[in-house]
Amino acid sequence: KMSNCIFCKIINKEIPGKIIYDDDVCIAFLDLSQATYGHTLVIPKKHFENILEVDAQTLAHVMQVTQKLAKQIVEKLNAKGLNILTNTNEVAGQTVHHFHVHILPRYDEKELVIEFNDHSQDVDLDEVYQKIVK
Ligand code: 5GP
Ligand code: ZN
């Protein structure tokens, strides 16, 4: 239990949250920002900093719940698709250091920008491959 963690406080009901799912291992609740309509966070009840720290069994459960809720949210809110993402460390935009998976229902192509720039001209794929697998 991390006394100073905002998500632990939501789990412990010390601060309110719109909790849409609750089981022994994880909860899901509406993200305050609502980056897209229905934006939801799925988090383990046990505090882990990020996806690199969480144990494999908890992660598997969190992802199963994420898929179940993704289906439910898309159906109930009539979304056309969704993005699922998890930010890891400040460099990647993580602001709350309690592992969480974002479910971002999508209704149109412009409401959310996740830009993948093309660096294929500058990167030697064989070099990257060798670095990762060696
Ligand atoms: P991150 O940037 O760390 O991946 O995402 C953290 C998310 O937590 C943000 O989308 C932010 O809106 C959400 N958030 C931060 N504080 C609270 C809170 O007190 N309640 C809820 N429901 N969401 C929060
Ligand atoms: Zn926490």
List, for residues 24-55, the tens digit of each pLDDT value: 999 999 999 999 999 999 999 999 999 999 99
CB of 88 sitting under 6 A from ligand 1 = no
Contact 82, 73 (CB under 8 A): yes
- Residue 80: CB partners within 8 Å, gap ≥ 6? 106, 107, 108
pTM over 0.85: yes
- Does the beta carbon of 57 sit less than 6 angstroms from any atom of ligand 1? no
Whether the CB-CB separation of 128 and 59 falls below 8 Å is answered with no
The predicted-structure confidence for 73-106, as pLDDT tens digits, reads as follows 999 999 999 999 999 999 999 999 999 999 999 9
Residue 100 a catalytic site member: yes
Cα–Cα distances in angstroms (integers) from residue 60 to residues 22, 65, 82, 111, 127, in the given order? 16, 9, 20, 29, 32
State the Cα–Cα distance between residues 133 and 130, nearest whole angstrom. 5
